Every structure is written in structure tokens, then in C-alpha cells.
Amino acid sequence: MERVLITGGAGFIGSTVADRLLDEGVDVAILDDFRTGRREFIVDALQRGAELFEGDVLDGALLGEAIDGCDTVFHLQANADVRHGLENPRRDLEQNTIATSDVLEAMRAVGAKRICFSSTGSVYGDAPIVPTREDGPFPIQTSLYGASKVAGEGMIGAYAHGLGFTGLIFRFVSVLGERYTHGHVIDFYRALKADPTRLQVLGDGRQTKSYLYVQDCVEAMLTAAAHHGDDPGAYVYNLATDETVTVDESVATITARLGLTPEVQKSGGDRGWAGDSPLIHLDTERIRSLGWAPTLTIRDAIARTLEWFEAEPAIVFDQEPSHS
Amino acid sequence: MERVLITGGAGFIGSTVADRLLDEGVDVAILDDFRTGRREFIVDALQRGAELFEGDVLDGALLGEAIDGCDTVFHLQANADVRHGLENPRRDLEQNTIATSDVLEAMRAVGAKRICFSSTGSVYGDAPIVPTREDGPFPIQTSLYGASKVAGEGMIGAYAHGLGFTGLIFRFVSVLGERYTHGHVIDFYRALKADPTRLQVLGDGRQTKSYLYVQDCVEAMLTAAAHHGDDPGAYVYNLATDETVTVDESVATITARLGLTPEVQKSGGDRGWAGDSPLIHLDTERIRSLGWAPTLTIRDAIARTLEWFEAEPAIVFDQEPSHS
């Protein structure tokens, strides 16, 4: 990697990738429209020489400018709202599916042939086998978000097969850590700061979730990228810890850490919303076979995230609550 | 089914569905832009009361008109050119992925909740296990066509899961029979009519293919639709015979039937073009468990197709050659 374009490069994961690549002496171009990305996250990267292209990845002229001279793209920009997909079906279609097609075409135009793509464990739908392997049973999608990521994965596969692209497809669980600004840990934190006496939880609290610390996530992506170099093909990796936590356990970790004993009020049912998967637990043998292992447990990642919330109240309380 | 919209209803399979539904007393609306559909195929259907909406499924106003009053959609319109996907990546994206999103939204707008969708055995890519089951290993896509069909399947899954749609997803092998106008059997036929002394074949001739007779294909779709009624969910069925033929065997059947002994010239290699799957052989236990079985073998289906060619020279020689 000599010069890398990071779409969504001002976001939670994207800005962390930017910092890591800059550490390694890579030239970095950041494309972000700041819809969910934040200027605070890339102040340091820009000072260290990263170049910012501000706007939408669907803006072809801007994308063409941003990708010029790059050999690799971390395509991390996406609509990541699993919950409200059916309220606005064009959003996943445009921001995820069409955007990925545009990125692949922009890559072809400049001869960039390596793409690292943030897919999701949600592509497994209601997985009949857990922990779920990358080559587990061909799933039925349960969300437009999952569908749009499967679409992106598929297009990357076609470019790898037909044009010799190197496609690295990462199926993430939810990611936690510094700069995390979207998902249930921050929702719970904000709610408890507003009212420490009670906490409302969607579902029955027994939904099992898996989380991964952001630095471990980025390390895994870079490990896989280094392993495959520019080998043509599409390579899929689950990225997760081997643990899971229930929402109840996650709440317990958060409240213990904050020293609170709220009354927890549950909406009931085995899933929080239509399209939520009641169980996401990924088999990580494949990425571990490359020598990678996570450094933080889920509880430690939650704790690290809470420390960051405490240190950055201006960021934490500057956003609307949302679930993921 | 009281009133059914058939997108691509003037096409090979769509017009056959139209005829069958009319036989059963169903009201039929046909949406077709005649890019590959043919007016000859629906003359009879229109005389029997089918209503034609002429234009592109991407024309929202037209789609809205066509779907009005329908409870079910056979969404069969698609770009079906597996071979040239990477030469024009927007085509699969628009005509398949975006079109399917549009159809689902149009259905939601009028309260139609059942969709029968023509997917493809190409979604299995280079399947590691053959015959391939519907829930076989999560595949890597090898063509933009396959990617666009996986995208369509995924969106249907999300509408089924979140909105209670009944999604019937049919993964076809190539279909043969009356009104077949696109694929290697017609290419070979045309080539042999032009020059009976030699035949050029892409690949080494050992590529294994599976075919299904169009009436068997339509019967399978109607069997599955009747079985599931309006049960919410996404149901995936492979549609194929249990046999396969090699391209060599297919050529032998065609030449024997035509009484020709051409010199067969092969380009070599184990696949005909980038994105071609060297082996598509589908496990059909699932659709057979509903009581369906094909009535014609692949050889009989080829023979039936050749009979139709001989009967319809005006249609057979009015098109550009292409492979599928």
C-alpha cells in the first residue's frame, strides 16, 4: 500500500484506519461527507498529511479526484442503520449497494485493484449454525442493510473473478472503543446520564451480541491485507471476538462501571426490532489462522468505550440516540 | 392469485407464465419494454384478456399503473447477460438490483405481498459442492449478474422478514423450450444453419450445464406458489433437472437432431468466459418434495427447442447471437 483512499475516513472505524496507516508511512486520502463522520476524529490525521475530500461517495467527480493515485481503497462509508432500513429503502440501496458499485468502477478507472470492504455479520440473517463460519449455510437476508452488504460483497467477488481485483471482505460484529458514537452502548450511556434511576431496553435482554474492539478490528484488516498482498480473488473474514454477551450482561457491565443501579425496563420479545438478529456469533478461526487475535475482551472493550465517553462529553452528547 | 403482474411478461419465461395463469383464470398484467421480449409471444395472451403495460420497469409511473390491483408479482424482467457484466456494470445494477427494489416498493404501495422472483444458479459461483443445495456454502460471486441476483434475493428476504411478504426465490439453471431465444443452443443452431460444416465452441466442451424445460420451470414456480400461499417468509428453490450435460453432449444432441457432422472447433480452457461457471448442477430435492418433477429430460428439452426453431425461423433469425 502506497496511497490509500478511505471512504468514510472520518468515521469511527475509518479514522482509526487512517491513523494506523499514517503510522505505517502510507499516504492517506479521506473521503467523507460528515453525515456520521466527525471532524474531531481526523484533526490529527490531517496534521500528519492525510488529504481530505469532503462530500458524498456518490459524487463521481469527487470520488475520481479522491481515488487518483491510490492503489488500495478501504471502502468503509456506509449507511449502518440496520433498524430503519424498511422506512427508507433507497438509503441502503444508494449509500451501500450503488456506492460500492461506484467505488469499484472508480478503482478500475485508475487501476487500483485492492479493496478492503466493511461487510457485516448481519449478512448471516438468522444463522442456523453458531458460531457461524464464513462458508456456513447460504443465508436468507433479514434486513435491507444485510442485503446491501451481500450486494457489495457480490460485486467485489465479480471484480475479483473477472478483473483480478484483490477483494478483502470483512464481516464485522458491532465495534466498540474510542470514537464509537452509534449503537446500544452509547444509547444506554446517554439514557443513564439523563436518568440514572431507570433504563429502557428493547427486547427481553437475552439477545446475544458480539463486539470487537476497534483497534483489534483495524489490526485484523491490516493483517489480512498484508497476508493476501495483491493476490487476485475475494477473501472473506469474520471479525469478532470468540465471546458473546447478552444485552443483560452488557447493561450490567455498563451500570457497574458507572456505579449505578437503575430499574431496567424491558420491552420483551426475542428481538429488539424487525431485522435485528437475535444471535450474532461469528466463528473467527479463519482470521486467527493468520496470527491475529483480539487484545481486549468484550467487557474490556465496553470499559474502554465508557472511559472514552467520560473523556469526550462534547462528542457523546452532540448526537441523536440510535440503535445498532 | 386473483390478478398478477408479470414483469418481463413478453419474454421467454414470462409469456409462458402469462399463458399458464390465463389458463387458470387469473387476471394478468404484463409489463415489458420489448428489449428482449417479443410481441409474437403475447398475441394470444392479449387476445385472452391480458393487459399490456409497455415500457421499462424502472419507469415508476408505469410500474405503479401496471401493479394496481395486483396481489402477486412474477418479477422475471432482468438483464440476463452473464457474460458481459463487467463491460457495462450499470446494467446489472439498474435492470436487476434497482429494478427489484422498485418492484418491492411498488408492491408495498398497493399492498401486494407475494413475489415470485427469477434468480439463478449462477449465485452459487464456483460451487465447492455439487449437486448444490439451496443452503449450501455461502458462495463467493463470480459475475455481476450473480451479484445482482443475490442482491434481489436479499431485498426480498428483508421485505419478507420485516413486512410479512411471501417471497418465492427460484434459482434457475438455463431454461429451454418454445420461445427460447437466448443462449448457446440457439447460437449453435444459427451457426450451423449459416455453416453446417463447422462449429466454434467456447471452452473445452467439457463444461457441465444443466437445463430445464420451460413448461416444467413454470409448473415448478406455480407448485411452490400454491404450496406457500401467503405464508410470510422467503423460500428458495433450485429449479433444474437432476441431470447435467456437457457442452460436447449438447452439441452432439443438436448435430444429430439436425443430421449434421460439423468439425467442432474449441477455444479451450475450462470455462467459456470470465464469470461463466464451469459447473452448475443443482440439487432439486426441495422442489421435488412438493410433488413436482420435470416431464422432459435435457435431451428431450433440446429436441423440443430445435423443433420450435424449425417452426419459427422468423423469430430465430431476427436476433443477434449471444451466449448465456
The string of pLDDT tens digits covering residues A178-224 is 999 988 899 999 999 999 999 999 888 888 888 999 999 999 999 99
Instruction: With beta carbons under 8 A apart, name residues in chain B contacting A148.
Output: 151, 154
**B162/A154 CB distance under 8 A:** no
What CA–CA distances, in Å, run from B288 to A97, B192, B219, B240?
34, 36, 12, 10
Phi, psi of B258 (to 5 degrees): -90, -5
- Identify the residue among A81, A96, A101, A117 best suited for mutation to test binding to B, counting B beta carbons within 10 A and taking the highest: A101
C-alpha cell, B7: 414483469
Average pLDDT on B173-181 reads 94
Indicate if ipTM > 0.90.
yes
Asked whether B237 and B287 are in contact (CB, 8 A), the reply is: yes
Question: Closest Cα to residue A243, out of A281, A205, A200?
Answer: A281
In terms of DSSP bridges, do strands A27-32 and A51-54 run parallel, antiparallel, or are they unpaired? parallel
- Identify the residue among B97, B124, B166, B238 best suited for mutation to test binding to A, counting A beta carbons within 10 A and taking the highest: B97
* Fold adopted by A3-175+212-239: Rossmann fold (3.40.50)
Helix H segments across B118-246? 144-163, 184-194, 214-228
CA distance linking residue B103 with residue B106, whole number of Å: 5
Average pLDDT on B199-214 reads 90
A43: Cβ–Cβ under 8 A, 6 or more apart, which residues? none
C-alpha cell, B264: 467442432
* Banded model confidence at residue A2, pLDDT cuts 50, 70, 90: very high
DSSP secondary-structure letter at B24?
Answer: T
Average pLDDT on B197-223 reads 93
Res B119: pLDDT: 97
CA distance linking residue A91 with residue A96, whole number of Å: 8
* Banded model confidence at residue A157, pLDDT cuts 50, 70, 90: very high
Cite the residue boundaries of each domain of chain A with CATH code 3.40.50.720: 3-175+212-239
pLDDT surpasses 90 at A166: yes
Beta bridge partners of A119: A171
Q: With 0-12 CB in 10 A as exposed, 13-18 as middle and 19+ as buried, what is B47? A: exposed
* Banded model confidence at residue B274, pLDDT cuts 50, 70, 90: low
Percent of chain A with pLDDT over 90: 83
**A141/B161 CB distance under 8 A:** yes
Phi, psi of A258 (to 5 degrees): -90, -5
Res A274: pLDDT: 56
Mean pLDDT score across all residues of chain B: 93
**Which of B98, B140, B158 shows the shortest C-beta gap to A147?**
B158
The per-residue pLDDT for range B112-146, each reduced to its tens digit, is: 999 999 999 999 999 889 999 999 999 999 999 99
**Which of B86, B139, B146 shows the shortest C-beta gap to A138?**
B139
CA distance linking residue A245 with residue A281, whole number of Å: 10
Across chain B, the runs of DSSP E, i.e. the strands, are: 3-7, 27-32, 51-54, 72-75, 114-120, 166-172, 174-176, 198-201, 208-209, 211-213, 233-239, 245-246, 263-266
Q: What is the pTM of this model?
A: 0.94
Res B213: pLDDT: 98
Mean pLDDT score across all residues of chain A: 93
Average pLDDT on A227-238 reads 98
Instruction: With beta carbons under 8 A apart, name residues in chain B contacting A136.
Output: 137-138
Using a CB–CB cut-off of 8 Å, the residues of A that contact B are 85-86, 89-90, 93, 97-98, 101, 104-105, 124-125, 128, 134-144, 146-148, 150-151, 153-155, 157-163, 234, 236, 274-275
**B136/A141 CB distance under 8 A:** no
**Which of B155, B162, B275 shows the shortest C-beta gap to A162?**
B275
Question: Closest Cα to residue A167, out of A154, A184, A178, A186?
Answer: A154
pLDDT surpasses 50 at A324: no
* Banded model confidence at residue B1, pLDDT cuts 50, 70, 90: confident
Question: Closest Cα to residue A73, out of A167, A174, A196?
Answer: A167
Q: Using CA coordinates, name the residue in chain B closest to A124.
A: B138
CATH code of the domain made up of B3-175+213-239? 3.40.50.720
CA distance linking residue B37 with residue B57, whole number of Å: 13
CA distance linking residue A212 with residue A294, whole number of Å: 8
CATH architecture of B177-210+242-280+293-316: Alpha-Beta Complex (3.90)
Q: What DSSP assignment string belongs to B68-117? A: TT-SEEEE------STTGGGSHHHHIIIIIIHHHHHHHHHHHHT--EEEE
C-alpha cell, B202: 467456447
Instruction: With beta carbons under 8 A apart, name residues in chain A contacting B163.
Output: 86
Four-CA torsion B28, B34, B36, B39, nearest 10 degrees = 70
Helix H segments across chain A? 12-23, 43-47, 60-67, 89-91, 99-110, 144-163, 184-194, 214-228, 247-258, 285-288, 298-311, 313-316
Q: With 0-12 CB in 10 A as exposed, 13-18 as middle and 19+ as buried, what is A225? A: buried
Percent of chain B with pLDDT over 70: 95
The per-residue pLDDT for range B36-48, each reduced to its tens digit, is: 999 999 999 999 9
Question: Closest Cα to residue B23, out of B294, B177, B215, B178?
Answer: B215
Average pLDDT on B231-242 reads 97
Res B161: pLDDT: 95
Res A271: pLDDT: 64
* Fold adopted by A178-210+242-280+295-316: UDP-galactose 4-epimerase; domain 1 (3.90.25)
The per-residue pLDDT for range A61-80, each reduced to its tens digit, is: 999 999 999 999 999 999 87
CA distance linking residue A17 with residue A6, whole number of Å: 8
B151: Cβ–Cβ under 8 A, 6 or more apart, which residues? A97, A147, A148, A150, A151, A154, B96, B97, B100
Average pLDDT on B3-19 reads 98
In terms of DSSP bridges, do strands B208-209 and B245-246 run parallel, antiparallel, or are they unpaired? antiparallel
Cite the residue boundaries of each domain of chain B with CATH code 3.40.50.720: 3-175+213-239
In terms of DSSP bridges, do strands B174-176 and B198-201 run parallel, antiparallel, or are they unpaired? unpaired
pLDDT surpasses 60 at B321: no
Percent of chain A with pLDDT over 70: 95
Instruction: With beta carbons under 8 A apart, name residues in chain B contacting A236.
Output: 140
Question: Closest Cα to residue A154, out of A97, A78, A211, A76?
Answer: A97
Q: How many CA atoms lie within 13 A of B130 on its CB side?
A: 20
Asked whether B123 and B146 are in contact (CB, 8 A), the reply is: yes
Res A15: pLDDT: 98
- Count chain A–chain B contacts defined by CB atoms under 8 A: 139
Cite the residue boundaries of each domain of chain B with CATH code 3.90.25.10: 177-210+242-280+293-316
Res A64: pLDDT: 98
Average pLDDT on B56-75 reads 98
pLDDT surpasses 70 at B9: yes
